[in-house]
Amino acid sequence: MSNNIRFLQGNEACVEGALYAGCEFFAGYPITPSTEIAELLSSRLPKIGGKFIQMEDEIASMCAIIGASLTGHKVLTATSGPGFSLKQEALGYAIMAEVPCVIVNVQRGGPSTGIPTHVHQGDVNQARWGTHGDHAIVALTASNHQDVFAMTVEAFNIAETYRTPVVLLFDEVVGHMRERLVLPEPGEIPIVARLQTSVKQGVNYHPYLAREDGRLPMSDFGGVHRYNVTGLYHDMWGFPSDEPQIINELLHHLMDKIEHRTNQLARFKEFYTEDAECLLISYGSSARSAREVVEKHRQRGERFGLLELLTLWPFPSDLIRQKAAGARLVVVVEMNMGQVCQSVRLAMDRPERVFLSNRVDGVFISPSDIEKTLNLIQGRGV
Amino acid sequence: MPVKDYIRERFFPQLWCAGCGHGIILNSLIRAVEKLGIDKSSIVMVSGIGCSSRIAGYVDFHTLHTLHGRALAFATGVKLSRPELHVIVPMGDGDALAIGGNHFIHAARRNINITAIVMNNRIYGMTGGQASPLSGCGILASTAPYTSVDQAFDVVQLAAAAGATFVARSTAYHAQQVTEMIQEAILHNGFSVVEVMSQCPTYFGRRNKQGDAVDMLKYMQKITTPIGSKAKEENPELIERGVFVRKELPEYCAAYDNVIARAKEKK
């Protein structure tokens, strides 16, 4: 029992989650603050017969995992801001070709090279809109190592279930902080295996024809079914098409398979939200300080609550509307210029009660930083 | 098996312009696979973007039509995750050596067992005839209206210097030689590069007054010569055809299998 307890970095917790989920292939490129994920997997993957490759650049890493996924493996890459920018084209390819894969972005300060060793959460909207064209994406996050592990497993499960790339948006504080992780026993968290087609050899297999439940069974490259995969608009065989109806249907399918499941995909945690007059909304490492503030005010008998988002995309608007319905004041705590705050305002019927408590100077937002914002909002000065 | 059993007939006639050399290369490639008797289901063809890359749509293998320049990066993922598969990567000159130049040299450096075919027509055809890194000086292109002042890469020298362990060059005129080279490249255990000089009568030929497809093919015959021929001694301007590099070095996937063995030993 006790040997299931680890004291480690968030990046290491992510690796443990990936291996638990069945990751067998990693391609990456060194970048702060995500490098430990690559380093650790270079040691761990070959031990289980998996493959690790350090590619020539971030772009190639993203491409390589897509190739490896198509041969039937669960795949991962990890990066940070500038690397995430470089991966965007191939991320769009994985969306279009519906190739399951997981991309970790341990966020640092941007834009550009920014502040590599310090924390920011400025890539939230990039995760949503980084690649060109209309599309949908799933992005998950976590504030502590147990959740880093769980969300990493979840990312692989969602990627397989919906044949989609999933982004794990961690941040430098979570990635480098050390704390306890209790490793779940095998089988304790359900694992979604690659859904293989039941179509037999010699019978037409359609890689892009959904079953009744909406899922698209796959056939490994190298298997009995030979088909085409492309980033062009394509028909149910995977062959390029410029038929208006096919283009229209495919784009709607790519959007709907994620966006229509927004509530189903909404992972979150809540603390004292039932009667909260002041609702804090936060995610990632910022949520740790937000929770501290909420606990302190509760001890004083003040009706504070915290909604901690674990799913950032598709944005859980219904959830937020529901949890914030009774709140007089909603404060979004994050380390950027208000990226989630903006989405919260769009989700709310009275956006004027939504305020931002942020910090963007590379210093971790503390409970006292949040208190200062609360004082200002409530007209009490700093 | 007849050639038609290797193609996806419903997509023919293909989209290449009349007189394009790429169809000849497709033919040579299929004949190479046919002669080797390789099971179609054990071949993955990975291509990028451009005229050449459309070749993947026409062959009845596992086919992965990817992003401009990135075919070798995708192919590396395919090959390393399933080393028993034959991975063939046809690329255009711009695809392989401009936007994809980094992936090209690193795939060569790793000596991963992938067959790269550079279909070199010295022009960006799909976008309408822009200069490529293989156009060379003095060439007219839609982005070089006063002739190109860019030096060209020599694919053979570049591939060899980067570490490719099989490097060959021929032309669309010498279709049978191309078949033999692709056969040997597929069998070669390491990163192999076959450069096939190809004609683009529509953009390169017309603009540079090289005549029609037949004229261009004859021209390729005229300007090339077998490696080490007497003609080359007399005329150093001639481009050599043949196998330039053929050597055995540790192959990447096999080397990684050793990594796995060492990792499993170490507790």
Mutation site, B44, B62, B258, interface A, largest A CB count within 10 A: B62
Residues from chain B that touch A221, judged by Cβ atoms under 8 A, are: 44, 62, 64, 78, 82, 85
Residue A313 Cα distances to A54, A190, A317, A334, B158, angstroms: 29, 22, 10, 16, 44
Q: What percent of chain B has pLDDT over 70?
A: 100
Structural domain includes residue B4: no
C-alpha distance from A9 to closest chain B C-alpha (Å): 22
Residues from chain B that touch A226, judged by Cβ atoms under 8 A, are: 40-41, 60-63
Residues from chain A that touch B40, judged by Cβ atoms under 8 A, are: 226
Q: Residue B207: pLDDT above 90? A: yes
Q: How far apart are alpha carbons A19 and A44 in whole angstroms?
A: 9
Please compute the mean of the pLDDT values over residues B102-126 and round it to a whole number.
98
Domain boundary residue, one of A182, A200, A223? A182
The string of pLDDT tens digits covering residues B67-79 is: 999 999 999 999 9
Domain boundary residue, one of A182, A197, A218? A182
Structural domain includes residue B1: no
Please report the pLDDT score of residue A3 as a whole number. Answer: 86
The answer on A277 and A150 residing in a single domain is no
In this complex, the residue of B61, B64, B76 whose CB is nearest that of residue A70 is B64
The string of pLDDT tens digits covering residues B209-226 is: 999 999 999 999 999 999
Give the model's confidence band at B1: pLDDT under 50 very low, under 70 low, under 90 confident, else very high.
confident
Please report the pLDDT score of residue B196 as a whole number. Answer: 98
The answer on A157 and A51 residing in a single domain is yes
Please compute the mean of the pLDDT values over residues B28-49 and round it to a whole number.
97
Could you report how far apart the first and last alpha carbons of chain B are, in Å?
50
The answer on A18 and A144 residing in a single domain is yes
The answer on A136 and A13 residing in a single domain is yes
Structural domain includes residue B164: yes
A204 touches chain B (CB under 8 A): no
Determine whether the interchain pair B64/A232 forms a contact, defined as Cβ–Cβ distance below 8 Å: no
Residues from chain A that touch B260, judged by Cβ atoms under 8 A, are: 46, 49
The answer to whether residues B165 and B192 touch, using CB atoms and an 8 Å cutoff, is yes
DSSP A259-275: HTTHHHH--EEEES-TT
Structural domain includes residue A226: no
Structural domain includes residue B229: yes
**pTM to 2 decimal places:** 0.98
Please report the pLDDT score of residue B79 as a whole number. Answer: 98
Find the CATH number of the domain harbouring A125. Answer: 3.40.50.970
Structural domain includes residue B166: yes
The answer on A154 and A45 residing in a single domain is yes
Residue range(s) defining the domain that contains residue A99: 2-182
Bridge partners of A358, per DSSP, are: A334
Structural domain includes residue A362: yes
Domain boundary residue, one of A182, A204, A220? A182
Structural domain includes residue B8: no
C-alpha distance from A67 to closest chain B C-alpha (Å): 5
Please report the pLDDT score of residue A2 as a whole number. Answer: 59
Residues from chain A that touch B82, judged by Cβ atoms under 8 A, are: 71-72, 220-222
Structural domain includes residue B208: yes
Please report the pLDDT score of residue A380 as a whole number. Answer: 87
Task: Name the domain count of chain A.
Answer: 2
Structural domain includes residue A311: yes
The answer on A26 and A163 residing in a single domain is yes
CA B33 vs. chain centroid, Å, equals: 15
The answer to whether residues A262 and A128 touch, using CB atoms and an 8 Å cutoff, is no
Q: What's the one-letter identity of residue B140?
A: L
Q: Taking Cα atoms as reference points, which of A42, A20, A122 lies closest to residue A362?
A: A122
Phi (first) and psi of residue A68, to 5 degrees:
-70, -35
Structural domain includes residue A250: no
Please report the pLDDT score of residue B199 as a whole number. Answer: 98
The ipTM value here is 0.97
Bridge partners of A355, per DSSP, are: A331
Q: Residue B87: pLDDT above 90? A: yes
DSSP chain B: --GGGGB-GGG-S-SSPTT-THHHHHHHHHHHHHHHT--GGGEEEEE-SSTGGGHHHHBSSEEEE--TT-HHHHHHHHHHH-TTSEEEEEEEHHHHHTTTHHHHHHHHHHT-SEEEEEEE-SEETTTTSEE-TTT-TT--BTTBTT---PPPP-HHHHHHHHT-SEEEEEEGGGHHHHHHHHHHHHHSSS-EEEEEE---IIIIIHHTT--SHHHHHHHHHHHEEETT-HHHHH-TTSEEEEEEEE-----HHHHHHHHHHHHHH--
Find the CATH number of the domain harbouring A346. Answer: 3.40.50.920
Find the CATH number of the domain harbouring B48. Answer: 3.40.50.970
The answer to whether residues A332 and A307 touch, using CB atoms and an 8 Å cutoff, is no
Residue range(s) defining the domain that contains residue B238: 18-265
Task: Name the domain count of chain B.
Answer: 1
Structural domain includes residue B11: no
pLDDT along chain A (382 residues), means of 10: 88 98 98 98 98 98 98 98 98 98 98 97 98 98 98 98 98 98 97 97 94 94 97 97 98 97 98 98 98 98 98 98 97 98 96 97 98 94 78
